[in-house]
Structure 1
Amino acid sequence: MTTNEPAWESLDQMADATAAGLAQAAAGSAFHLFRDKQFRRLAGIERLSQVEQDRIFNELVVASIVLIMLLLEAPDLRVAREFQSYLAGLNKRIPKAYVDHLETLGIESSHLRDWEKLIAMRYEEYARDRHDVRAAAMQIESSEKRLDLDDLAKIQMLVPVQAVAIGCHHHICRGHTEGQDDLFKLVLRSLSMFYVELRVRLEGGRITPLTRARVALKRMLRRMGRRK
């Protein structure tokens, strides 16, 4: 009897392969958004130089990579305790996995070092921003009603994707975000879909908490639309 399942010789080998797969998923998600007609129109892609287009695409890739990293270290991720240490180790392998992939494409060493620095810099930035995002979300939600444990759980669940979306949007626009709400909502929606899909898989298909989080996300997007 044969099987299509790969035979891993060690946990390290399995972790390396998983990290490579996640890194490729991040690149695929970024490419899908970058090729989206609405995104290209809102970001004015066709009017930009090739260098600037490449910069924006790179920011999208890094955003997806960092989002995976923040997800893997999320304190509310519902996985078995013995699996948490594996995810923590996996988290550290993802940047290297993507850089290794770029190396196979013939990217020069100097550019590979730039990628390593960019991923590390954005990770530090977006991880730091989580605290401000959480505080802002709690302030907004508590202005409408008294927060209960379920509300706090939904806020916590959405913090990584909101922090990354805000930062990514800022860098795409080079800080000139005024009047770019539609672009932000598109970036947030794309990253949210990627985030939810990965989280559902990691949590073994337990989608109920994520369904509630998606409802909260839709409410936030509608609220942003009313403020325009």
Structure 2
Amino acid sequence: MPSAEPPAGRPGATPAPLTPLDFQLVLLRRMADHNPDLVDEARRTLGVSVGVMREANKRWQARARSPRSRGAAARYRSVLGAPETRTARRIGDLDCEAWRWPVPLWPGLRFEVLLAPGGAVWNEWLVRAPDTAPPPLRTLEDLTPWSCTVDEAACAFAPARPLEGTAPTRWGLAFTAPDARGERWTVHAEFTWGLLQRTTVTGPAAEAEAEAQGAS
């Protein structure tokens, strides 16, 4: 399939509305910093060029920063349509709602937006689709790029400690995990839009445990 190119704009012309395809390109653009080869493969699957991906991200950012923006929840709904599901949740003492949409690039995932009372967006990331089994996560070797979500890694290698992300839409986790030989290691995992991008082994788990005991 030939790669589509962004249309030539005319001065004063109304920009074309963003589409679910554009949103998938926005997700990929953020992931390209860590996994350019995977992103290129996914982009080719969608039949678009690098220029189209960059333009979609540029338009998304412009809409998000526009003073006329109606807010994140309205923006997602205008681009993605009505959520596939809307589920009430309770977090601590607050009632909230989770909106989810399918993402054709990752059929086993959903894009989830968590709305606080009043409609403000608390969180926005990829999660496992209902009735879809999570991946088996037992060793370091299972932690391949795009293999799991934040919640899945945190549950598989509990207790996991959240780390501050290096940019918006990014998260981190620190935990210990065994390799295929059974040796345990301290691991930093990085996520973009909730999907695993890379892991960094920072040292043997025994050293981190000893340091923690010494600090206490």
TM-score by structure 2 length? 0.24
Ranked by relative contact order (alpha carbons within 8 Å, sequence separation 6 or more), the top structure is 1
Structure with higher helix content: 1
Q: Which has the higher strand share?
A: 2
TM-score (norm 1): 0.23
